[in-house]
Structure 1
């Protein structure tokens, strides 16, 4: 008789059929169905919202009808949710049905028509995080109190985040042992990222700057000296000091929201953590860097993503009409 750990694994597929696999594939199947940790967290919140909607209207939550999902999506639109947010909620509902082995109502053509209509009325263009300039970043660094551990941490976070075109999730996931100092550059070994879910070898190189105050490599070195340990989270929260004392580095890793807070505290509320990548791409494009060179740092897969990230929509600054020779 098979023990529970030896029982076959039943995997729901996108075609709504159930496939039986040997027990040895169980943990891999579970990882594939669940997806990335950030995706799991986002879907969980979306599904709580959908469940509340179904309970309020006395509708079936799982499995859900096409009309139920369409009504839910319409309510989100009426509440002013962005089109991208609505699509994410629908994707969460699709994942819920896949995990439950139910046909997904999200694949129905009628729902596609409703979503298309929502997209047309709301406008599909997402509000993009603005890109700051190098001058703004330097001004923010000059205003930091570098006599405190918090100032040193924030300088290293902003300069590394910008020069490395990091996502906030990548920054908070970095460990001290992921940082390698070489003669040419600071090499960051990424263990995993949004576009690298399988942990393949992926490096970023951050180079020395002529001015020490704005050098991301020296900034990280200064922060590591304060951190004072050979392993563990690179960017941590600060322990609260006594009255009149500055905080010291703690053991707890910074959160995604903390990165956003640091960016806004030093660069202003108009910016967000996503501005670190947007600014890198914009500055690099403006400097005439090739898409290949940019993708080597951002790890984006297509040229279209560079076009999406570059904030070059100021018609007075970026316009071929300036160079007509008239």
Structure 2
């Protein structure tokens, strides 16, 4: 599979193809050729509740016989009561992190709960030995602390040994992570010229690009949009309702503005993907024969932006599903739009992410950048004076020794 509901092509020899056709008309899912084009393919999706039930069952089986019975019963009861209080991704990470900790304890024959200073410290040492990054280790510790709060146990982060170990880890492990490159205005304008609106995948890619940029939505929010969330305005612009986001877990919702250009792109995509009635997911997986699949996955968003980058002769690996969000924030910062407005647009609660996104922009506005501009060095470098100013011969200390 490529995007959700999208089938990769494969090379099949003629003999295998003929054997595959044998008795195909007797299969339950057989459709005549005349009906295939009309069929909208849906893929079977596992609900969050089912995923959570599997994680919970796995955790309980791992803890069975490893902790006191009263504590086991409390965890069984509280884990049911807490369901739905956090976002889906947070709930999954709580369980997966706790399972990893319990599996470690079982392999080392240690008691997982209640938390012991030496046990948690040993687990942190193990995570570092496995090459886990600083952010991942911090998330594991936060998950253990959340379970401690749920079970009314001591927070392992308050232990002197655990605190000291975390301080050592944080000094050794860099917090810096690779920042995804932003898809900027120049990229959007060039993409608009290159993409063919008559090709279904192109039509969706360009629409996803512009909506992602104008709404500053995360990839998980982009794939959650349905046609019922969209409203066409009298002036040709549009509004789209973000019912719930990472920073709005209570679902108060927020209306986001779409320009006339983006609205036209969305309407054009609707005519291709859902011409008869506007309902269901806006962004969907696309089969190689242009049939529509189920709702697009977050990985599908990542692949979309990487496809766009490739078409623009950019390095696809440096872009991610958040590249439109990064690029839009950088454009607003560069154009001196008020920080409060940028935070409202991106639904950020603190300045941390804006500071992170604006590192390269701030470098261009530094005191040294101002000085070199006043000295007019850039214009001098473009004239013949540069040849006289620079050494004609590379100093011996900087030259590369010849291979013998």
Three-state SS of the structure 2 residue aligned to 1:237 is strand
1:254 to 289, 296, 302: 296
TM-score with structure 1 setting the length: 0.79
The Cα of 1:264 is off from its aligned counterpart by 1.8
Q: Which residue of 2 aligns with 1:10?
A: none
TM-score with structure 2 setting the length: 0.65
Q: Distance in 2 between matches of 1:52 and 1:87?
A: 18
Count of residues in Structure 1 that have an aligned counterpart in Structure 2: 288
Q: Distance in 2 between matches of 1:184 and 1:292?
A: 28
Conservation of the 8 A alpha-carbon contact between 1:179 and 1:186: yes
Quick check: 1:224 aligned with 2:270? Answer: yes
Conservation of the 8 A alpha-carbon contact between 1:278 and 1:310: no
Q: Distance in 2 between matches of 1:296 and 1:204?
A: 11
Q: Which residue of 2 aligns with 1:193?
A: 245
Measured against aligned partners, the alpha-carbon deviations of 1:149-196 in whole angstroms (never above 9, x if no partner) come to 221111111111112111011111111111112126321211110111
Quick check: 1:288 aligned with 2:317? Answer: no
The Cα of 1:44 is off from its aligned counterpart by 2.9
Select the structure that is richer in strand: 1
- Choose 1 or 2 for highest CA Rg: 2
1:105 to 152, 156, 159: 156
Quick check: 1:46 aligned with 2:65? Answer: no
Q: Distance in 1 between matches of 2:135 and 2:360?
A: 22
Quick check: 1:202 aligned with 2:202? Answer: no
The Cα of 1:110 is off from its aligned counterpart by 2.6
Structure 1, 92-101 or 273-282: larger mean CA deviation? 92-101
Which segments of 5 or more consecutive residues in structure 1 lack a partner in the other structure?
1-17, 19-25, 209-214
Three-state SS of the structure 2 residue aligned to 1:312 is helix
- 1:81-160 residue pairs with structure 2 within 5 A? 81-160=132-211
- 1:269-288 residue pairs with structure 2 within 5 A? 269-288=317-336
- The RMSD of aligned alpha carbons is 2.6
Conservation of the 8 A alpha-carbon contact between 1:130 and 1:311: no
Higher relative contact order (CA 8 A, sep 6+): 2
Which segments of 5 or more consecutive residues in structure 2 lack a partner in the other structure?
1-70, 72-77, 310-315, 376-404
Measured against aligned partners, the alpha-carbon deviations of 1:207-233 in whole angstroms (never above 9, x if no partner) come to 23xxxxxx3222211112222232221
Q: Distance in 1 between matches of 2:273 and 2:111?
A: 52
The Cα of 1:35 is off from its aligned counterpart by 0.9
